Homo-oligomer: A and B are copies of this chain.
Amino acid sequence: MMKKIAVLPGDGIGPEIIAQAMRVLEVLKADGLAIDWEFAPLGGAAVDAFGSPYPSLTQNLAREADAILLGAVGGPQYDNLDRPLRPERGLLAIRKDLNLFANLRPAILYPELANASTLKPEVVAGLDIMIIRELTGDIYFGQPRGIAVNELGEREAYNTMRYSESEIRRIAHVAFATAMKRGKKLCSVDKANVLETTEFWKEIMIDVAREYPEVELTHMYVDNAAMQLVRRPKQFDVMVTGNIFGDILSDEASMLTGSIGMLPSASLDENNKGLYEPSHGSAPDIAGQNLANPLATILSVAMMLRYSLGAEAEAVRVESAVKKVLAQGLRTADIYEAGCEKVSCSAMGDAVIAAL
């Protein structure tokens, strides 16, 4: 069965890093993997071409595809557009439209890149956390929301944090299942001492835990979690939390490694259809200069092979190739250190292809 991939290069460095990732897919296809792909715009590129950050062309392609590979969206030239036209609206729209509720964000320290971290080596050596962030609920999408004049005649603004039982239950199952495949430790992050929404979250987590007796479930307040990630990050195996806390903590956790240019992410629906993208942004400051690090995007391809395309062997093949180029001492500017060889985005792509 031929699997179809929707490829959305997006903005900024998106097209460059996607170009290198596509070379990897081309090799796998030439070697017999039954995949096919089609390109479409998302974010600013889509606003430029079709006047919408998630146009129907892209929507149709994304809906029919088995998996989506995304570069990155956003750029300063779009900052003054009306809210519905901003690039990040395209990202939020595709997540919601495709029901991609489970965002998996690994924070892994590659031994070769240990120096890149701002944390002391002994604190982060061997770091391997998987953060599972709920992605289609919470205050990101909750109604009511807006800016209005209140009863006292004063302007005020409001948003609604909201989770239903089924929304929490399904992300809990993803989290526990992930923990079962790893170290069997799950830390659920909440602010149950203040927010009813996360008190409810905690209650459901405890209930679902009964189906996974082997997993050790702990609970941590979000402020403490933000501290513990700095203090003793290796205490964590899998973390699960809501959309807004996950947005903050997953970025903090990636930065612990010092090499966010290495970190992929996956956003999955209930049937393991997923959108895959690097954890970093569109880096407009270096766009078009062949300087970007394509490895997070290439590792996103590996996640796609594993989770959505059922191609575990190919996923391992891609990951091994990435490890090989790191071992060879090749580094893009973002992860460069003295003694290594500084390479461009495309040269890094060349090396990965050679290593495949």
Contact = CB atoms under 8 A, between A and B. Distances in A.
> Which secondary structure characterizes the binding site on chain A?
helix
22 contacts: A119-B230, A139-B161, A139-B195, A150-B164, A154-B165, A156-B163, A157-B201, A158-B163, A159-B161, A160-B161, A161-B161, A191-B244, A223-B248, A223-B250, A226-B226, A226-B248, A226-B251, A227-B260, A230-B230, A230-B255, A231-B258, A245-B248
A119 B258 CA distance: 11
Interface residues of A, number: 60
Given A165-B154, A200-B147, A248-B248, A230 B159 contact: no
B199 A227 contact: no
Interface in A222-245: 222-224, 226-232, 244-245
A32 B142 CA distance: 57
Nearest to A140: B194
A271 B37 CA distance: 64
A159 B88 contact: no
Given A155-B164, A157-B201, 8 more contacts: A83-B199, A118-B119, A146-B196, A154-B166, A155-B165, A158-B162, A158-B163, A248-B248
